[in-house]
């Protein structure tokens, strides 16, 4: 996976995140009805959390690759770190 692949994955995740953050029923097929049941909201929140975690991992991997390239190292040696590690970073 190169930097361009990672950036495309980030864009896809950002698009999904925006969709998940829209109020239920406000999308093109929703017709303005916001009667999402509890199970739907729970699933939506769980998926949003997964997307946020995947975004954090992608951004971290991209930063690692760029740092390695800048240091004259092989960016392909960078590995995605576990969610619990990247989620603990202070921004």
Predicted local confidence at residue 35, as pLDDT = 60
- What global pTM score does this model have? 0.81
User: In this predicted model, which residue has the larger pLDDT, 72 or 88?
Assistant: 72
Contact, 3 vs 62, CB < 8 A?
yes
Provide the mean pLDDT of the chain: 88
Predicted local confidence at residue 19, as pLDDT = 96
Predicted local confidence at residue 1, as pLDDT = 87
How far apart are alpha carbons 47 and 76 in whole angstroms?
29
Q: For the range 66-70, what are the long-range contacts, defined as Cβ-Cβ under 8 Å and sequence gap of 24 or more?
A: 66/3
Digit-coded pLDDT (tens) for 14-52: 999 999 998 766 655 554 445 668 888 999 999 999 999
């Amino acid at each position: 996976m190169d930097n361009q692949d990672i950036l495309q994955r980030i864009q896809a995740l950002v698009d999904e995140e925006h969709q998940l953050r829209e109020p239920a029923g406000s999308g093109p097929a929703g017709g303005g009805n916001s009667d999402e049941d509890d199970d739907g909201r729970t699933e939506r929140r769980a998926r949003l959390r997964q997307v946020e975690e995947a975004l954090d991992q992608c951004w971290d991997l991209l930063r690692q690759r760029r740092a390695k390239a800048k240091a004259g190292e092989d960016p392909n040696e960078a590995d995605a770190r576990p969610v619990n590690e990247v989620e603990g970073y202070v921004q």
